């Protein structure tokens, strides 16, 4: 499988391989053949060149890729209208690219609409029997591409889930937490914004496992994660970063407000009815981000307060 670094290099290579003949062909047309075709090719090459530039910088290029393929499809519709079958030959290639640039759902709608339009426009310049025969070939090829794009997208989502989420509770994992803390610090430094972190540790969890077994313990962990997810805002995010340890990141939130959220979470866990009539409590450590500190020191401050909550009696917020 390709790593993220390899796949972006591969995407860059593909873009460059497309850009060189496209712009060369455009220049050739402007100089020696049809001016209009040359200008259209150069217009299509511009967003592609910007896309190459963004990819080389390691930045998101989706806007330019989308612009590129839309320009290409519009130009090809014009070619279908003028030249019939000679335009239709390119329909399949452009329609398949729509899947990979816009994603499966949007790609399916766009490619079907685009294919129907190019077939209809081709009838202007080609005999209908020939267009009909070509359309069958294009339809079958598109069916195959749709199936392939669906498989790729489904597998990609499953891989992303495996890499970013905790398999038991479905919440974000420790890897995502480190990434989110580093991003919050960068954002806070640049825009001078507040952000708080709540570390949560379920109390006496070992007893639950020992008394009721690991299966019930797992179920309690899932229910606790659900209860926390339902209590926090959509803009906050929940991570499981240890066995029975969770963390909530609260953007745009100051210490006092984060303490209030932690208190609300503590109460909702106490009020939640867990399986086997288990009375679960949790301890909380809250720390607002300090500009200029590292992610590790921020996490350590929240964790130290959590430890304080544990040693001072549990089921409390520090």
Nearest-CA neighbor of 95 among 122, 75, 68, 113?
A: 113
Buried b (16+ CB within 10 A) or exposed e, 93-113: ebbbbbbbbbebeebbebbee
User: Considering only residues 209, 226, 229, 315, which one is a binding residue for ligand GTP as defined by CB under 6 A?
Assistant: 209
* Site stretch for ligand GTP (CB under 6 A), options 20-28, 50-58, 136-144, 210-218: 210-218
Cβ of 16: how many Cβ atoms within 10 Å?
14
Binding pattern for the stretch 141-180 against ligand GTP, x by CB under 6 A and - elsewhere: ---------------------------x------------
Nearest-CA neighbor of 225 among 270, 169, 161, 263?
A: 169
- Cβ proximity to ligand GTP: between 66 and 204 the closer is 204
∠ CA 271-276-278 to the nearest 5 degrees?
Answer: 40
Map residue 239 onto helix, strand or coil.
strand
* Site stretch for ligand GTP (CB under 6 A), options 38-46, 74-82, 157-165, 211-219: 211-219
- Cβ proximity to ligand GTP: between 72 and 309 the closer is 309
- Cβ proximity to ligand GTP: between 100 and 307 the closer is 307
Q: Contacts from 297-302 at CB under 8 Å and sequence distance 24+?
A: 298/181, 298/185, 298/197, 299/181, 299/197, 299/199, 299/247, 302/197, 302/198, 302/199, 302/247
292 catalytic residue (yes or no): no
Map residue 34 onto helix, strand or coil.
coil
Distance CA 245, CA 225 (A): 10
| Residue 205 touching ligand GTP (CB under 6 A) | yes
Residue 240 CB contacts under 8 Å (≥ 6 apart), including other chains: 166, 168, 169, 171, 172, 173, 174, 221, 225, 246
Give yes or no for a contact between 35 and 42, defined as CB atoms under 8 angstroms apart.
Answer: no
* Site stretch for ligand GTP (CB under 6 A), options 30-38, 172-180, 209-217, 247-255: 209-217
* Site stretch for ligand GTP (CB under 6 A), options 189-197, 212-220, 246-254, 255-263: 212-220
CA 70, distance to chain mean position in Å, is: 22
| Residue 218 touching ligand GTP (CB under 6 A) | yes
Give yes or no for a contact between 102 and 73, defined as CB atoms under 8 angstroms apart.
Answer: no
- Cβ proximity to ligand GTP: between 223 and 237 the closer is 223
| Residue 185 touching ligand GTP (CB under 6 A) | no
Supply 282's token pair: 């949790």
* Site stretch for ligand GTP (CB under 6 A), options 140-148, 180-188, 200-208, 224-232: 200-208
CB of 310 to ligand GTP, least distance (A): 5
Pick the catalytic residue: 151, 160, 219, 244? 244
User: Considering only residues 66, 165, 175, 204, which one is a binding residue for ligand GTP as defined by CB under 6 A?
Assistant: 204
User: Considering only residues 180, 201, 287, 309, which one is a binding residue for ligand GTP as defined by CB under 6 A?
Assistant: 201
User: Considering only residues 66, 175, 300, 310, which one is a binding residue for ligand GTP as defined by CB under 6 A?
Assistant: 310
Binding pattern for the stretch 237-256 against ligand GTP, x by CB under 6 A and - elsewhere: ------xx------------
The helix (run of H) or strand (run of E) holding residue 183 is helix 174-191
- Cβ proximity to ligand GTP: between 102 and 284 the closer is 284
User: Considering only residues 86, 157, 179, 214, which one is a binding residue for ligand GTP as defined by CB under 6 A?
Assistant: 214
Which residues would be at the binding site for ligand GTP (CB under 6 A)?
168, 201-206, 209, 214, 217-218, 221, 243-244, 310, 314
Catalytic residues: 244
């Amino acid at each position: 499988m390709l790593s993220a670094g390899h796949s972006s290099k591969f995407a860059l290579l593909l873009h460059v391989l497309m850009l060189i003949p496209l712009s060369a062909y455009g220049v050739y047309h402007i100089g020696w053949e049809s001016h209009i075709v040359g200008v259209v090719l150069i217009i299509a090459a511009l967003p592609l060149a910007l896309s190459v530039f963004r990819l080389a910088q390691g930045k998101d290029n989706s806007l330019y890729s989308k612009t590129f393929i839309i320009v290409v499809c519009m130009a090809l519709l014009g070619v279908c209208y003028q030249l019939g079958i000679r335009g239709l030959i390119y329909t399949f290639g452009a329609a398949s690219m729509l899947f990979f640039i816009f994603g499966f759902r949007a790609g399916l709608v766009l490619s079907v609409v685009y294919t129907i339009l190019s077939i209809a426009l081709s009838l202007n310049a080609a005999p209908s029997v020939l267009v009909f025969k070509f359309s069958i070939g294009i339809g079958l090829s598109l069916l195959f591409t749709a199936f392939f794009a669906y498989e790729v997208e489904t597998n990609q989502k499953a891989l992303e889930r495996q890499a970013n989420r905790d398999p038991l509770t479905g919440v974000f994992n420790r890897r995502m937490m480190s990434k989110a803390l580093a991003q919050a610090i960068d954002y806070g430094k640049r825009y001078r914004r507040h952000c708080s972190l709540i570390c949560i540790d379920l109390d006496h969890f070992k007893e639950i496992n020992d008394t009721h077994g690991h299966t019930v313990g797992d179920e309690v962990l899932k229910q606790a994660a659900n209860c926390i997810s339902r209590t926090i805002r959509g803009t906050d995010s929940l991570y499981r970063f240890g066995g029975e340890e969770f963390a909530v990141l609260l953007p745009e939130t100051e210490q006092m407000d984060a303490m209030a959220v932690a208190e609300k979470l503590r109460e909702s866990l106490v009020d939640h009815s867990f399986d086997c009539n288990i009375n679960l409590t949790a301890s909380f450590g809250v720390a607002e981000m300090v500009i200029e500190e590292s992610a590790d020191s921020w996490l350590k401050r929240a964790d130290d307060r959590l430890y304080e909550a544990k040693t001072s009696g549990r089921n409390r917020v520090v």
